[in-house]
Chain A
Amino acid sequence: MNQLLGFVKKEFTHIFRDGRTMVILFGIPIIQLMLFGYVITTEIKDARIAILDHSNDNVTREIKNKILSSGYFRLDANLLNENEIDPIFKKGNVKEVIIFERNFAQRLEREGEVNIQVIADASDPNTAQMLYNYTNGIVQDYTKKKYAGFTIPVQIKSEVRMLYNENMVGAFMYVPGTMALILMLISAMMTSITIAREKEMGTMEILLVSPLKATHIVLGKVAPYLLLSIIDAIVVVCLGNLVFGVPIRGSIFVLAFLVILYITMALSLGILISTVANSQQVAMFISGFALMLPTILLSGFIFPIENMPYPLQLLSNFMPPRWFIDALKQVMLKGNGFTYIWPNILILSAMTTVFLVLSIKKFRLRLE
């Protein structure tokens, strides 16, 4: 036991003495969370638009005012004719052009029907779609209020309520995902690198000929990262809550259990990688490509799994972060407990067991 303690102490000294490791451990999680929370946002705010108003009467002015005062849009330019549309899109700042046809108010009065043309820059399809939806919503709202007194023959209206994330805040989606990413980075990548480093420096040989048991060596290497990962998880949850208002509706204990299970999975994956990698660079390469990309792309973190082609959907089943993120969202946003997330827990436990068994086997083989 004393042997192990001394070993763990040394491991902490390595970590605290290395500036780069400290940045990775505590700087990156915070930066990443802020980046995902603020920058990659799915909400529309101050999108720059241009308006081409052929009528310029009181109705178009009212609609324009309503659009521009919504907070979603900012007027970049008032266009005079159609020829200006193409160049302004090509310049790239303007994402949407709204065109009011001639004699707008007049037609509305006489014919009861008038057109607003919306042209959006679909080189970014998601944003284009969202801009259109927002514009449409505002115009609908305007008509509804203005003609509240009129009876419209028959109308089916769908009323939408966004459950669990009423305001569609992007951070709700990114905080659990970032947590999966950060914990994978710290647990798997850092452990695989630190074990590979011992091999590279030749210190692993010394440890192996010492009376330390193989399990002691692995435990000693892993324990500090388990602790630091837990601290990071706490930081991410707290920041998510305080800065982005991501709620923790479920039980803290369920959350803690889930997070620790995921960390254990990532740590055993890290050990597995280190049994294959003999240098820090190889370890970094493997964990970078084999862990980070799937975590970001195939876990449903950013891209919905339902929209993927079928083979990729199948593949995503083998990505541990997928099950973690799903369970995490259930616990944090829906307040679900074990009754709902037990399949995820079962799958993550199975994965952990497989990684552990494989790495112990590999570790023994390497010794032989």
Chain B
Amino acid sequence: MKEIKSDIGPIIQVKDLVKKFGSFVAVDHLTFEVNKGEIFGFLGANGAGKTTAIRMLCGLLEPTSGALQVAGFDGYHEREAIKRNIGYMSQKFSLYEDLTVYENFRLYAGIYGIPRKERIRKTDELLLKLKLEESRDKLVGGLPLGWKQKLAFSLALFHNPAVVFLDEPSGGVDPLTRRTFWDLIYEVAHQGVTIFVTTHYMDEAEYCNRVAIMSEGKIVALDTPAALKSYYKTDSMDGVFLKIARNKE
């Protein structure tokens, strides 16, 4: 297994990426780069091709054409290596509810082949940080939603991935919890982990360093939230989104 070099440039490099299903073009010549430690927002209505793009970035789907590199690994031939170097968290938080907090950690560590000693050390460390030590042997099913969210995020980070994909990470969570969750995201990004996040919430889009907006398989806008807002002459990401949608019609 190749170690990720620190000087590989952008952590995600996408050039003219295309994915076709039969004659349907789901992703149409995407080109963008994401830098190390960046929080990159990925927006778009349902059916815009977001999911297909993310699945290629995660190594689940092989692209039809174009260039794709994640953490220095090729999106065609090194998909297994990509999988080992990314973390993933979905809106369902995807924890095993009938396992305890500790057992969930143990399972994920096992799947990613993390040695026992390191696992025990990291689990203790994380539980302490998340203030979950007392819930260590409680079933995940009984935890509040906000805690589950944090736990799922920590698990996605457990194997020290270079990039973490957050697929609508705040589904059904109240704004306050969302805010504290984003504090956690900032902290992780600060440590050099790249965050790739899709969201429906425009306040979350404001938190991102840069935002790409997808429509019909293409990226129609890509810049910092501030630059997008001034370009579209509006004071919120909501406005940006609406104006782009209107231009389409």
Contact = CB atoms under 8 A, between A and B. Distances in A.
Interface of A: 2-3, 5-7, 9-10, 13-14, 17-18, 201-203, 205-212, 367-368
Contacts of A7: 107, 110-111
Contacts of B106: 6
A201 B113 CA distance: 23
B193 interface: no
A211 B107 contact: no
Interface of B: 58-61, 80, 83-84, 86, 88, 90-99, 103, 106-113, 165
Contacts of A201: 92, 94, 96-97
Contacts, number: 70
A358 B17 CA distance: 31
A210 B91 CA distance: 17
A205 B88 contact: yes
A288 to B, nearest CB: 23
Given A7-B107, A202-B92, A202-B93, A210 B112 contact: yes
A206 B90 contact: yes
B83 A211 contact: yes
Given A14-B99, A202-B90, A202-B92, 4 more contacts: A6-B110, A211-B80, A211-B84, A367-B60
Given A10-B103, A367-B60, A18 B98 contact: yes
Contacts of A17: 98
Dominant SS at the A interface?
A: helix
B152 to A, nearest CB: 9
A368 B62 CA distance: 8
11 contacts: A2-B110, A6-B106, A18-B98, A202-B90, A202-B92, A205-B88, A205-B92, A205-B94, A210-B83, A211-B111, A211-B112
Given A208-B60, A209-B83, A211-B80, A203 B111 contact: no
Contact of A368 (B61, B113, B165): B61
A209 B112 contact: no
Nearest to A15: B98
Give the residue among A5, A6, A202, A211 with the most B Cβ atoms within 10 A: A211
A203 B84 contact: no
Contacts of B88: 205-206, 209
Contacts of A3: 110-113
B111 A6 contact: yes
A210 B98 contact: no
B61 to A, nearest CB: 7
Contacts of B98: 13-14, 17-18
B131 to A, nearest CB: 24
A315 to B, nearest CB: 36
A3 B80 CA distance: 15
Nearest to A203: B94
Contacts of A10: 96, 99, 103, 107
A264 B109 CA distance: 30
A3 B92 CA distance: 23
Contacts of A208: 60
Nearest to B88: A209
Nearest to B87: A209
Contacts of B109: 6
A292 B50 CA distance: 41
A2 B95 CA distance: 20
B111 A207 contact: yes
A201 B98 CA distance: 11
Which 6 A-B pairs give the minimum distances between C-beta atoms?
A: A6-B110, A202-B92, A202-B94, A209-B88, A206-B94, A210-B111
